[in-house]
Structure 1
Amino acid sequence: MEDTSQVDRSSSLDLFNSLQTRADVLVQEVRSYQAHINQQKREYEVGSRTFVRDTEAEVSSLKKLNPSTTPSDVAAPQNVDRNVEEEEGPRLTTLRSSNLPFFFLVRGVAKKCRRVTAIRVKIGWKEPKNTIGQNAHHQMSMTQENEPASLQKRSVFVDVVAEGGLEWIKVSTLNEKRLLFEMAKEGWEKYSGSDDGTATDSEDDDLQERDPGAGKLELVRLAENLARAAKATRVRFRHPHIKFVLPNIREGVLKDIDSFIAEIRSTGAVVVCGKDVDQFLADGRLDLDRMMPVTADASLTSTINVDETILLALISDICHLSPQQLCSIPTRGPRGAPKTHYKSIANQIAEEQEAPMLRDELYPLLTGRDLDCTAIAAQRFRKIVEKMATSSEQKRAAILLGEGQYKDQPLSVLREAFGEGSLHCVPDSIHFPVRIIQVDIEELLAAGGDPAATNALVCKGFPTSIAARTKDTIRHSTILSSAFLYGWARQVTTLTSNRRMANGLIKDINNVLDTEERQGRGYNADFVGPIIHKCKGARSLIGQDKNNEA
């Protein structure tokens, strides 16, 4: 933010030029960021539209304040005898109140973060009605005990969401002079009391309602709301942590300001202020790759546990053949009937032409890694192949599992056979066949923490109690759940195209964790959850079409 004393001595032209120069850099960086997101096809993983829209609007407003012009919305001087300062007064006041320094700061903070998933985003949560002013921890502990109708939706703005969602950052350009003024306005005794007001920062319009008894400063109330929102949110089974960045507030200079900082920290937030912000923002180079959300490779282990959806995609003719070849596949339907597919299959064929799943997703994920599959999932896979697969899909299935004529064949033979007739080359470092793991889920969950009980399939720290309770809530087939529970117990990445099952499992685990937390048995950073990578698409077997009903 511009130094106040310098701004006071600057003419409107000086201030405008300073803002315009920085705005040009801001716009250029925002456009580069958006272009990189689009190039990486991460549009749906990064929420930055609000920031881009607000930035463009603010820059557009700045252009209207160019002292070289006389825009209609800026009062022109009526008295030529006024001194220069009076003539520039309205324009200078508007320039000084520009929100651009705030956007500069948000952008500077975002550039220093890793795995940014959102810039300027509204976070929502639910809490019981008529509890404004209650202790945040008590309030959230009551949430699950209320009927849905008794919950109210609340929301708060977060300026930067980083670390894949686990870090929420709030920035403010509030300076010490303004802070002391607000302290005096609120009344320090009232502010420093025990009243737990819950209204949010009015500058951000985070909540529509205000706490009628609020006696705390806006940023303190915002910190409390962020803490409550984080407590109601789980990202990879953990609650996000909160950071405040306050470049114009110094610590260790004024006692009252130190008390204000301590009040924010009492909510559990980290506060970075004064010179520490300068150090934090130093070397503000734009590293677009660092800012991107976590890549697929970051969540992969040296061994990949594949479920039946991945096995099916690996052998599907949709992934290996051209549309013309697919149309020529023999069918057992009525003689002379046109080759037709279900709409879902037709959609997959169209998707494959846009983004080949083997080339763009599966092969890069699997290359150089050992491949596991539970015996239950493999058996289900075999049944589907037997019923629906074409001859080429059946051949690939045998290669993939190392069965039939491909049993005990060397890796080079399996790779060559798998790639025969395929549009895509099989990577040299792909590890065939898939290793089939015999595992008893009940025995796995009963193992406690003793790896020897299950042939060392259970990793250290595997929460058997949480896993068992989660399994009891899973409303899906044992076949599907076995793959996820095995991967969880062994702490290897489970690769799946079954997003519904994966999301349901994650939701069930979070619900169990919330129950544990309400009962005083909290898990957070030390919790060992499943490592799941959800593929963007799915591929079915092509063998059964509308002219070939089972």
Structure 2
Amino acid sequence: MDTNSAHPEKGETAHLHQDLEGKITELNVADAVIEVESEERDTEDGSVTEVGPEVDAQGLASEMQERCRTLLSELEEFSQYLKAQRKENTVELRTFRNGLQSEMKLIDKLAKKDTPNETTVHSLRSSNFLFYASVWSTAKACNGLTALSRRFYWDPNQAMPNINGEISTRGTKHRTWSAVADVVCQNGLEWVKVSSNTEKRIIWDLAKAGWVGDSESEDFEDDDYDDPQGILRQVESLVKAAKATRVRYRHPSIRLVLPRISRTPKAKEVDMVIQKIRNLGVTVQTAEDMAEELPLSDRLHKLVADRIETFSEVLNIDCTVLLAFASDLSHGRVEPEDWHNKMIQRQRKMEAEEQLLPCSLWPACKNKKMVCTREAAVRMQEIVNTIGTINEKERTDLLMNLNTDARLTTAQRLEEFQKLSDYTIPPDWQLPIEVIDVSVPGMLKQLPPVAEKIAESLSEINRSVTLYGWQSGQTTISSNRAVAKEVESMIEESRESDEIGPDIWLCSTTRSLVGKEKERRGGVKEKTGESESS
């Protein structure tokens, strides 16, 4: 094989540099090619910092220190907001924060130099800080943020996609195939790549990869363009990772943010690169699309990932959540008893730390109408009648219309419910929960073929709840993690097209009935759909 044909060397190098110099001249850039090679340094996103007129090194260092402190301060403000919302584990910030802190140390070190010179200025201008600033600026304009600087892995030979961005093995082979999304938002459904590349940098990348000249040449269309730092290659890798990943049954969409590139580039080669990126199905945002940056305080509530915003207007309530609504454990302090089993003891402690209804389930339900299948309602009442306390039985009657006089208004139900809880009952909680009669054979006719396989693997309760939520397009509220994972895995394993499975939202924890001493001591088991699903 002729190595010169694969990598430009010696005689070809002069030609490449001449071509590159011509393109840079067209963009009115004063730097010569040799200066670009020696005076530019790659930054985090593959962009470069250009050397300009002489500047005050100390002043530049002070300015960058201040901007870096401001960014770190905003990041800390966001972290504190997440903690206040009990959502600190829903957004990955560590990698981004660590990178920014390292950059801050570098800037501080340069600022302390006794005799700053041109080398100091160059080091400051070559800092990755501008990249971090661009990423954070982009992130603040997003909704449902879940990560900054998140690396995704994929295996080209893997048949089943990574579910919700997770893979089972993180070996050497998987780490070879990876890509970084600078911002992950829309609750995981959008991955954003941010690049502060200039037109000059894109042309330089093309030259390093061995392509210069006529933009119509076959070399430009060749998919073997493989500069690992080039923006085209970065985006291609991210697209491959997205195609190997599904988040709630969907492939994430990709957006590329180019704040230093115009919608109509001066160089046709740059326009061709951007068009090729668009042809990958990527949304490209250029300088003209950049929105005015709002204060962080105005964006905090939108930044926090909130799956609740994606819920259907009517909610399908699983048996596990019906029990949580009725349980004494969910409505205040339960005094410890020697006959309480380990599960009850653990749930008492969990409720003391994080109140399930005020902090999770009531905000999830908001003022939405709630329904449940008759199978779930009947099983719930069987459990309550067997081991429930007096208060748990009364709450169950108020939750649904199985026994209670149907003429009770919502306001009357809430008033009675308040008497049975230490917490303030939301005035817009839509009681009663409507009980729905469903037909499994009828629902299966309206669902993808894989639904029959799923139905066979589930218990009667889980079958009715899962299929009804799926067929009706309603969000199912559940704490049955085992069933949710089983259903998602079966859909992916049997996938023939872009089937969208049931939308299941899992609350953070479960609640059992406290029950009566006699039944609990006697070993009566509280069988819900969760225990029957295995």
TM-score category (smaller protein)? 0.7 to 0.9
2:312–2:474 contact (8 Å) kept in structure 1: yes
Q: Which residue of the partner structure matches residue 295 of structure 2?
A: 285
Query: In structure 2, what is the equivalent of residue 547 of structure 1?
Result: 521
User: What is the alpha-carbon distance in structure 2 between the residues aligned to residue 414 and residue 118 of structure 1?
Assistant: 41
Partner in structure 2 of residue 82 of structure 1: none
Measured at CA, do residues 378 and 186 of structure 1 come closer, stay the same or move farther in structure 2, by a change above 3 Å? same
The corresponding residue for 1:471 is 454
Give the secondary-structure state (helix, strand or coil) at the position aligned to 1:533.
strand
1-structure distance, mates of 2:404, 2:201: 79
SS of 1:368 mapped into structure 2: coil
User: What pairs with 1:69-218 in structure 2 (closer than 5 Å)?
Assistant: 69-70=113-114, 88-128=117-157, 152-153=173-174, 154-188=177-211, 192-193=219-220, 195-197=222-224, 201-202=228-229, 218=230
Match for residue 243 of structure 1? Answer: 255
Residue 57 of structure 2 aligns with which residue? 12
> CA–CA distance in 1 between the matches of 2:211 and 2:227?
19
Aligned equivalents of 2:160, 2:334: Cα separation in 1: 57
The unaligned stretches of length 5 or more in structure 1 are 71-75, 77-86, 130-137, 141-147, 203-217, 328-338, 449-463, 518-522
**1:370 Cα offset (Å):** 2.5
Aligned counterpart for 2:320 among listed residues 309, 327, 338: 309
What is the aligned counterpart of 1:222 among 228, 234, 237? 234
**Equivalents in 1 of 2:339, 2:224: separation in Å?**
63
Q: How does 1:59-78 map to 2 (within 5 A)?
A: 59-66=104-111, 69-70=113-114
Give the Å deviation of 1:399. Answer: 2.9
The 1:199–1:158 alpha-carbon spacing in structure 2 relative to 1, beyond 3 Å, is: farther
User: Matches of 2:99 and 2:170 in 1, distance apart?
Assistant: 35
**Displacement of 1:64:** 0.7
Letter in 2 for 1:423: D
How far apart are 1:479 and its partner, in Å? 1.2
Tell whether the 8 Å contact from 1:119 to 1:159 is kept in structure 2 after alignment.
yes
Shift of residue 303, structure 1, vs aligned partner:
2.4
Supply the AA of the counterpart residue of 2:106.
Answer: S
* Aligned counterpart in structure 2 of residue 255 of structure 1, from 265, 268, 271: 268
Alpha-carbon distance, 1:116 to partner = 1.2
Structure 2: how far apart are the matches of 1:228 and 1:200? 16
Contact 2:82 2:88 in 1 (8 A): yes
Contact in 1 for aligned 2:160/2:493 (Cα 8 Å): no
- 3-state SS of 2:148 partner: strand
Equivalences for residues 405-416 of structure 1 within 5 A: 406=405, 408-416=407-415
Instruction: Tell me how far apart the structure 2 counterparts of residues 397 and 301 of structure 1 sit (CA, whole Å).
Output: 24
Distance 2:50 2:122 in 1: 14
Q: Which amino acid aligns with 1:315?
A: A
What is the TM-score of this pair, normalised by structure 2?
0.78
CA distance in 1, matches of 2:426, 2:285: 47
- How far the C-alpha of 1:60 sits from its partner, in A, is 1.6
Aligned equivalents of 1:174, 1:425: Cα separation in 2: 54
Contact 2:49 2:126 in 1 (8 A): no
Q: Where does residue 340 of structure 1 map in the other structure?
A: 339
CA contact (8 A) 1:320 1:424 kept: yes
- Counterpart Cα distance in 1 of 2:180 and 2:56: 34
Q: Which deviates the most, 105-114 or 429-438? A: 429-438
> Which string of whole-angstrom CA distances, capped at 9 and with x for unpartnered residues, describes residues 309-347 of structure 1?
0111111111234233x54xxxxxxxxxxx232222211
Partner-residue secondary structure (3-state), 2:131 = helix
Q: Counterpart of 1:516 in structure 2: which amino acid? A: E
Task: Give the deviation of 1:51 after TM superposition.
Answer: 0.5
**How much has 1:352 moved relative to structure 2?**
0.9
Residue matched to 2:463: 481
- Structural RMSD (CA): 3.1
> What secondary structure does 2:71 align onto?
helix
Report the alpha carbon displacement of residue 430 of structure 1 after superposing the two structures with TM. 3.0
Q: In structure 2, how many angstroms separate the alpha carbons of the residues matched to 1:280 and 1:467?
A: 43
The answer as to 2:330 corresponding to 1:319 is yes
| Shift, 1:103, TM fit | 0.6
- How many residue pairs are counted as aligned between the two chains? 461
How big is the shift at 1:128?
Answer: 1.9
Give a deviation string over 1:48-97, Cα, whole Å, max 9, x none.
Answer: 11111111111121111115x43xxxxx6xxxxxxxxxx71321221121
Aligned 8 A contact 2:209 2:227 in 1: no
User: Partner residue of 2:401?
Assistant: 402
Q: CA deviation at 1:21?
A: 2.7
- Report what 1:516 is aligned to: 496
Please say if 1:436 is aligned against 2:410.
Answer: no
Aligned-residue offset at 1:237:
2.0
1:491: which partner in 2?
473
Q: Quote the residue 1:371 is aligned against.
A: 370
Contact kept, 8 Å, 1:183 with 1:191, in 2: the verdict is no
The alpha-carbon deviation at position 412 of structure 1 amounts to 4.5
How much has 1:106 moved relative to structure 2?
0.6
Sort the Cα spacing of 1:438 and 1:220 in 2 relative to 1 into closer, same or farther, 3 A. same
Cα pair distance change 1:379/1:4, threshold 3 Å: closer
Percent identity of equivalent pairs: 30
CA distance in structure 2 between the aligned counterparts of 1:429 and 1:185, rounded to whole angstroms: 62
8 Å Cα contact 1:108-1:284 kept in structure 2:
no
Query: Structure 1: how far apart are the matches of 2:210 and 2:50?
Result: 27
Cα drift, residue 528 of structure 1: 5.5
